[in-house]
Structure 1
Amino acid sequence: MSDDRTTTTGPTGTNGTRGAVAGPDAAPGEALLEAIDTASAPRDTDVRQQRDPLSWRAEVRRQWGRRRTIWAFGLLLALPLVLVASFFFGERNDNGRGGTTTRIFDLAQDGAANFTLVLVFLASELLLVLLAALFCGDAVPSEASWSSLRYLLIAPVQRARLLTSKLVVGVTSTLLATFLLPAWGLLVGGIAYGWDPLTNPIGENLTWGQFLPRLALAMGYIFVTLLPIAAIAFWLGTRSDAPLAAVGGAVLVSILANVLDQLDALDPYRNAFPGHYGRAWQDALAVTPDWTDMVHGTLWSLVWAVLFTMLAYRRFRRSDILS
């Protein structure tokens, strides 16, 4: 039977190889097999994507399904409400205006813009730092503490893929929290105190057309200054299976850096500390902004963030998952 068939070289088939086109007796069978392969390939791919525990969608569901994420954003949304309640039950200092801090908090009740500015001032140095450390530092050790990390790595994928998915979701959550805070603050402040434009303590005003782009730029800068803390927490998370150790360690580093930053004897080395230019975002909201400190703060923040991210990847690739 094989002698009756003629074989000729044909074009490349669906499997990517340059194969043989058989005679009339075998062509229907080959066409049937080719049709089955073509029809079944997409379905197999869909099944693999749905069951892939390391896909982006699975990682987002895993991160946002945790109670700590829900509680973190709940605390973020509750902060403006707590601030409004404190102003309502407290007494406004209309007579004595000696202190700058007192004047700033008095202006918080003069409109949505001032309220949002005070809200960002309160949250940028503690709450947002804690959330950045939580989102990026808890991702890997929580999987290790649940003994599920080793099962995630059974799939034939690189460790860098798992680490990248967790880092991207953590950084994205931090970015969302950073911009959600002023947006929610504007809404709450507008309902509570009206929609007056920004008035700073020395009497200068910014219109809404000036204030909103400047506020977005300031929040973008705050997000960049949070990246070193997020990277440190992420690195500590690859070295421990205790989420509290990673989160607490990063916050402790932030506090220690702020304490050392107060020592004049460390000039000019303290300029490189994470958080040294943490308040430079306020320059963006001045009538005549000075961008020098924001540029320096951005560069140093990126240096620290890249350094500790590289250390995290180096540690995770060489560590023993079973330990």
Structure 2
Amino acid sequence: MSENGVHTDPAALDELTDAAEHTHSGVGADGAVEGYRARRTLRLGVELRRQLRRRRTQLVLGFVVLLPFILVVAFEIGESSPNRRSGGFVDLATASAPNFVVLALFVSGTFLLPTIVALFFGDTIASEASWSSLKYLLAMPVPRHRLLRQKAIASGLLSVVALVLLPLVALVAGLIFYGAGDAVSPTGDAIPFGQSLIAIGLSTVYVVIQLAWVAGLALLLSVLTDAPLGAVGGAVLAAILSQILDQITALGTLRNYLPTHYSYGWMDLIATDIDWTNMAAGTLSAVIYATVFTLLAARRFATKDITS
């Protein structure tokens, strides 16, 4: 009988001792199995291929490619004037390919783009927990910080692909149906086609940075819950709530601290005289929120009891 009162079979104990002696030569000085390298576990390429094979990823990327053509069909069915030089972004959408890209970013920025980012990041840890595979990944062993980092990087790359794919496909569709022309702003400014391409590129970069706060929050919720839908839905609801509060003018300057207050700061790029104030504030706000949420996620995951 052992000291803790548990009966131990002497024969089994001898077998364990022999096994330990036989495998001792394969154990390094630090106690780790020889040949084991933490950096070789859960390689990024493997995780990316695994995510790309998932039906969820394929449907999201497929819908992003399809959306611009759905918008084209909507304008073809409805009434639009391609020669219009005034109005809002919707009215100016068919004026040129750059204007069509602006519309695609404008209509998708409220709900679709935050949902895509929340879907990729909210599904990182929570999905593994829901499949009861998280504990096996950690037992391989994959260090916790590496597991969280690799999954976050893979989710970030997929999010960037989706966010870049939308304006790219919209530009191609716009060139096919509306031709290359000046980007016309609601204020009447006309930007040459070449300059408008630079503005679209910078706008896309800003959208990616601005949505970093959604990524950080979804990652934190994915660590806190074992339900992927709860993590994704929580991040999306937070984005919607922030947008609703941003419409309440009674909040005054408090709205400046909402993570979505500067979501459309990129629209200042569609002008002959660019004001960088909103984009600078939006970038700073997104980086701060994303950093705080990501650090909280890393801290929580490092101490979380893994039961599934």
TM-score per shorter chain, which class? 0.7 to 0.9
Distance 2:195 2:83 in 1: 30
Aligned pair partner of 1:283 in 258, 262, 268: 268
Aligned pair partner of 1:148 in 111, 118, 133: 133
User: Alpha-carbon deviation of 1:209?
Assistant: 2.3
Q: Note if 1:232 corresponds to 2:217.
A: yes
Shift of the 260–106 alpha-carbon distance from structure 1 to 2, 3 Å rule, reads: closer
Shift of the 95–114 alpha-carbon distance from structure 1 to 2, 3 Å rule, reads: closer
Query: Structure 1 regions of 5+ residues with no counterpart?
Result: 1-43
1:92 is paired with a residue whose SS is coil
- Kindly provide the CA deviation profile for residues 163-195 of structure 1, in whole angstroms up to 9, marking residues without a partner as x: 000111111111111111111111011111112
- Kindly provide the CA deviation profile for residues 114-147 of structure 1, in whole angstroms up to 9, marking residues without a partner as x: 1111111111221111000001111111111111
Distance 1:262 1:202 in 2: 22
Which residue does 1:210 correspond to in 2? 195
Letter in 2 for 1:205: A
Shift of the 181–97 alpha-carbon distance from structure 1 to 2, 3 Å rule, reads: closer
Distance 2:259 2:149 in 1: 23
Which entry has the higher C-alpha Rg, 1 or 2? 1
Work out the percentage of aligned pairs sharing the same amino acid.
42
Distance 1:152 1:263 in 2: 46
Q: Note if 1:55 corresponds to 2:43.
A: yes
Aligned residues: CA RMSD: 2.1
Structure 1 runs of 4+ aligned residues shifted over 3 Å read 93-98
1:142 is paired with a residue whose SS is helix
User: Alpha-carbon deviation of 1:213?
Assistant: 1.4
Which residue does 2:154 correspond to in 1? 169
Distance 1:115 1:209 in 2: 15
**TM-score, normalised by the number of residues in structure 2:** 0.83
Query: Structure 2 regions of 5+ residues with no counterpart?
Result: 1-33
Which residue does 2:279 correspond to in 1? 294
1:107 is paired with a residue whose SS is coil
Which residue does 1:137 correspond to in 2? 122
Which residue does 1:110 correspond to in 2? 95
- Kindly provide the CA deviation profile for residues 6-61 of structure 1, in whole angstroms up to 9, marking residues without a partner as x: xxxxxxxxxxxxxxxxxxxxxxxxxxxxxxxxxxxxxx97xx79xx6611122112
CA contact (8 A) 1:53 1:152 kept: no
Which residue does 2:77 correspond to in 1? 89
Q: Which has the higher contact order (CA 8 A, sep 6+)?
A: 2
CA contact (8 A) 1:116 1:185 kept: yes
Shift of the 316–270 alpha-carbon distance from structure 1 to 2, 3 Å rule, reads: same
CA contact (8 A) 1:225 1:301 kept: yes
